[in-house]
């Protein structure tokens, strides 16, 4: 091997060594993004927790496991392969339901995330660890509510489930933001019962409305008849009052006339008496049994 060959081999070796060094350095550099945290381990022992930024690790000795602390959503149930089923308090079969959980790893407990889950690839460990708790807790809770309550008071159910699940998961480094029970489907037999019950309620409501309408119309007719009777009584009272008033007025007029005639007769008699000269009447009227003297007014 001549000098040129040695030089070429040395150059190739230097390039290879440089490439190996670059790869070695690259393997020891970690860039932690916003919304992430990393756990640094040395021979499997936790050494540190990294915040966002650039970090260095000793190749072959230290490793960094990155965890996302962003808000995530996981869904349990909702398909035939992972179907969730339960019973209500009144023993109605819940054929299927789905649970949606909005959550995130607790940034302050990333060490615990490594201890409990170690890996975070596709959240597979989250599903395998948390899913049984979700299913157990949801079945326990649904068994405390009747079927009608589950259907009509879903917000109440979600609130109770949120409280129970947070209590169950508090030992894990997980922040549960919200929990919802969705797409609750009962058995076909219960659906038929619900449909028949709803139909009966509609019929009862219709009959009640019809009865109310009849009662209102009856009250209106009674009120109308009562108003007509009152009007007739008022007209009769007015007519009687008119008759009484007219009769009283006529009677008063006759009395006044009689009084006027009486007073007029007395005036005539007084006038004749004042003009009488003391002589006896020369003319007598009557049939002999009763004589009426006729005084002369001369």
167 shares a domain with 96: yes
224 lies in some domain: yes
SS3 track for 78-111: CCCCCCEEEECCCCCEEEEEEEEEEEEECHHHHH
Do 164 and 251 reside in the same domain of the chain?
A: no
Tokens representing residue 110 in the block: 């990333």
Residue 174 located in a structural domain: yes
Which of 153, 142, 164 minimizes the C-alpha distance to 96? 142
Are 83 and 153 in a shared domain? yes
pLDDT at residue 20 in the model: 44
pLDDT of residue 214: 82
Q: Whole-angstrom Cα distance, residue 220 to residue 211?
A: 14
Same domain, 127 and 64: no
pLDDT tens for each residue of the chain, 298 residues long: 554 554 455 555 544 454 444 444 445 788 988 989 999 998 888 889 999 999 988 888 888 888 888 998 888 886 767 788 888 888 888 888 888 889 988 999 988 888 887 765 555 666 777 888 888 888 888 888 888 888 888 888 888 888 888 888 888 888 989 888 888 888 776 666 666 666 667 777 887 888 888 888 888 888 887 887 787 888 877 787 788 888 787 777 777 777 766 666 666 666 666 665 666 555 555 555 554 555 554 5
**122 φ/ψ sector (left φ>0, alpha ψ -120 to 50, else beta):** left
Helix axes 154-169, 124-142, angle to 10 degrees: 130
Contact in structure between 95 and 171 (CB atoms under 8 Å): no
Domain boundary among 137, 154, 186: 186
Phi/psi for 287 (5° steps) reads -105, 15
Q: Which residue has the tokens 């509510």?
A: 145
Report if residue 1 sits inside a domain: no
Q: Does 104 lie in the same domain as 22?
A: no
Which domain CATH number covers 102?
3.30.479.30
CB 118 within 8 A of CB 65: yes
* Cβ-contact 160, 181 below 8 angstroms: no
What does the longest C-alpha to C-alpha distance in the chain come to?
A: 210
Q: Is there a single domain that holds both residue 215 and residue 240?
A: yes
Q: Are residues 212 and 177 in the same domain?
A: no
**29-32 and 53-56 strand pairing:** antiparallel
- Is there a domain that residue 193 lies in? no
Number of domains in the chain: 3
Question: Would you state the pLDDT for residue 193?
Answer: 63
Q: Both 141 and 215 in a single domain?
A: no
Per-residue confidence (pLDDT) for residue 23, from 0 to 100: 44
Question: Is residue 266 in some structural domain?
Answer: no
Predicted local distance difference test score (pLDDT) of residue 292: 52
Are 83 and 169 in the same domain? Answer: yes
Kindly report the number of other CB atoms within 10 A of residue 26's CB atom: 9
Q: Is residue 36 domain-shared with residue 95, that is, in the same domain? A: no
What is the reported pLDDT for 52?
A: 92
CB atoms within 10 A of CB 79: 10
Closest CA to 131 of 74, 67, 71, 70: 74
What domain range is 211 assigned to? Answer: 204-256
Whether residue 179 sits in one domain with residue 76: yes
Comparing C-alpha atoms, which of 66, 63, 59 is closest to residue 27? Answer: 59
What is the reported pLDDT for 77? Answer: 80
Instruction: Identify whether 293 is part of a domain.
Output: no
Q: Is residue 199 part of a domain?
A: no
Look at residues 96, 103, 100, 101 and name the one whose alpha carbon lies nearest to residue 82: 96
What's the predicted TM-score (pTM) here?
0.53
Res 153: pLDDT: 84
Domain-embedded: residue 214: yes
Q: How far apart are CA 285 and CA 290, in angstroms?
A: 8
Residues 285, 112: Cα–Cα separation, whole Å: 152
Q: Write the DSSP string, 150-212.
A: HHH-HHHHHHHHHHHHHHHHTTSSEEEEEEEEEEEEE-HHHHHHHHHHHHHHHHHHHHHHHHH
The β-bridge partners of 54 are 31
79 shares its domain with 141: yes
């Amino acid at each position: 091997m001549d000098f040129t060959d040695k030089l070429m081999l040395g150059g190739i070796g230097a390039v290879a060594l440089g490439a190996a060094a670059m790869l070695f350095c690259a393997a020891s550099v970690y860039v932690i993004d916003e919304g992430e945290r990393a756990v640094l381990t040395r021979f499997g022992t936790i050494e540190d927790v990294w915040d966002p930024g650039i970090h260095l690790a000793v190749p072959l000795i230290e490793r960094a496991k990155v965890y996302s602390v962003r808000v995530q959503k996981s869904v349990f149930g909702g398909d035939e392969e992972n179907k969730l089923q339960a019973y209500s308090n009144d023993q109605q079969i819940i054929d299927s339901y789905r649970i949606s959980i909005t959550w995130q790893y607790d940034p302050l407990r990333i060490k615990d995330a490594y201890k409990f889950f170690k890996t975070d690839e596709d959240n597979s460990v989250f599903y395998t660890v948390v899913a049984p708790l979700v299913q157990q807790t949801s079945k326990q809770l649904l068994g405390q509510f009747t079927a009608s309550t589950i259907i009509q008071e879903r917000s109440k159910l979600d609130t109770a489930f949120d409280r129970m699940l947070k209590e169950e998961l508090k030992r894990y480094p997980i922040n549960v933001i919200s929990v919802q029970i969705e797409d609750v489907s009962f058995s076909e037999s219960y659906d038929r019962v619900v449909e028949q019950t709803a139909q009966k309620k509609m019929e009862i409501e219709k009959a009640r409305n019809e009865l109310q309408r009849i009662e209102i119309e009856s009250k209106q007719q009674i009120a109308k008849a009562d108003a007509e009777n009152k009007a007739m009584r008022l007209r009769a009272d007015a007519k009687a009052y008119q008759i009484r008033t007219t009769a009283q007025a006529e009677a008063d007029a006759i009395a006044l006339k009689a009084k006027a005639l009486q007073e007029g007769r007395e005036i005539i008699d007084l006038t004749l008496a004042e003009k009488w000269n003391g002589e006896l009447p020369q003319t007598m009227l009557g049939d002999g049994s009763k004589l009426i003297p006729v005084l002369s007014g001369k």
